[in-house]
Amino acid sequence: MEISTVAVIGAGTMGRGIAQVAAVHGLTVRLVDTSEAVLQQAFQTIEHHLQRQLNKSLITLEQVEAARKRITCLTDIAAAVADVELVIEAVPEDPTLKGQLFAALDAQAPAHAILASNTSSISITWLGTRTRRPEQVIGMHFFNPVPVMRLVEIVRGLKTSQATFEAVAALAQRLDKVPVAVQDAPGFVSNRVLMPMINEAVYCVMEGVASVEDVDRVMQLGMAHPMGPLALADLIGLDVCLAILEVLHRELGEDKYRPCPLLRKMVAAGYLGRKTGRGFYEYPAA
């Protein structure tokens, strides 16, 4: 199936990046959020990023204008998904919310449409059970910032069909990404490996082993990580990190995934990282 129109549900950190990349690569995009204000902000962010790409001559003015025209912002999900071949869901990492949304998408999207989730940790097999088309449900796990990061983990649920997998993997390539096939397991590969490292970094700060800056410095200079784990947690969103750790802890049942109390406290205080202007670091411009 040729995918030419896609609905992206959720216009936050990830949804706006996915919408931008899809539009630049020629897809018609319906970007959906419950909030008009978020949609406006998302469109401004996309325009800003396109302008930056233009300034760096990574893209032409014609491409910028064409991409801008391909994106429509809506709050009405039913209208957004009525004629799409693919839906990419990027709402917060909350199983109840995603489960309800998949049931609604199943009722509203055309029968041939593929329903993909950008979830970082929730079971694709389980999301499939919320629909009557589990063979067309798949994980499309993009990385932040979406326009820059080339990896997409393509996650097969137990009932995901080979045709669905091939269509989505081909689309990822068309978006100039590198698809990597992974099985449906909590946190897939990326977050199964990354989140325990971030969690340990938070424990180091909580226990006074080293300062935030020094924990990050150790991992950057000692392990050649381009970014320290705490700066990365701020970029991902501390609420997102906490939600993923909760899933790993619950699903895998091992204490090593138990979220650090300091991480919980920061999320409770609204220190969510870059998106709120404060996490482990401060971001005055946000």
Q: Which residues contribute to the site for ligand NAD (CB under 6 A)?
A: 9-15, 32-35, 38, 90-93, 97, 101, 118-120, 141-144, 236-237, 240
- Selecting among 121, 153, 199, 249, the annotated active-site residue is 153
Residue placing its CB nearer to ligand NAD in the complex, 82 or 210: 82
CB of 192 to ligand NAD, least distance (A): 13
- Selecting among 85, 141, 199, 249, the annotated active-site residue is 141
- Selecting among 120, 121, 123, 199, the annotated active-site residue is 120
User: Residue type at 170?
Assistant: A
CB of 5 to ligand NAD, least distance (A): 18
Residue placing its CB nearer to ligand NAD in the complex, 101 or 205: 101
Residue placing its CB nearer to ligand NAD in the complex, 35 or 60: 35
For residues 154 and 172, is the Cβ–Cβ distance under 8 A?
yes
The contacts of residue 69 (CB under 8 Å, 6+ apart) are: none
The contacts of residue 156 (CB under 8 Å, 6+ apart) are: 124, 138, 139, 165, 181, 182, 183, 184
Q: Is 15 annotated as a binding residue?
A: yes
Q: Is 13 annotated as a binding residue?
A: yes
Return phi, psi of residue 82, to 5°. Answer: -55, -35
Residue placing its CB nearer to ligand NAD in the complex, 5 or 102: 102
CB of 57 to ligand NAD, least distance (A): 28
Longest dimension (CA), the chain: 55
User: In the bound complex, which residue of the shown chain has the CB atom lying closest to ligand NAD?
Assistant: 12
CB of 147 to ligand NAD, least distance (A): 13
The contacts of residue 88 (CB under 8 Å, 6+ apart) are: 6, 7, 8, 9, 15, 18, 116, 117, 118, 140
Residue placing its CB nearer to ligand NAD in the complex, 10 or 134: 10
Q: Is 223 annotated as a binding residue?
A: no
SS3 of 68, please?
Answer: helix
Query: For residue 141, which of 90, 95, 102 has the smallest C-alpha distance?
Result: 90
> Is 199 a known active-site residue?
no
Give burial (CB, 10 Å; 0-12/13-18/19+) of 235.
middle
Q: Is 98 annotated as a binding residue?
A: yes
CB of 149 to ligand NAD, least distance (A): 9
Q: Is 10 annotated as a binding residue?
A: yes
SS3 of 90, please?
Answer: coil
CB of 1 to ligand NAD, least distance (A): 24
Q: Is 19 annotated as a binding residue?
A: no
Residue placing its CB nearer to ligand NAD in the complex, 80 or 219: 80
> Is 36 a known active-site residue?
no
Per-position b or e across 128-146, b if 16+ CB within 10 A of its CB: bbbbebbebbbbbbbbbeb
Order of strands, edge to edge, in the sheet holding 178-183? 71-74, 28-32, 5-9, 86-89, 114-117, 137-141, 151-156, 178-183
Q: Is 139 annotated as a binding residue?
A: no
Active site residues: 120, 141, 153, 191
Report the binding-site residues for NAD(+): 10-15, 33, 93, 98, 120, 144, 275
Report the binding-site residues: 10-15, 33, 93, 98, 120, 144, 275
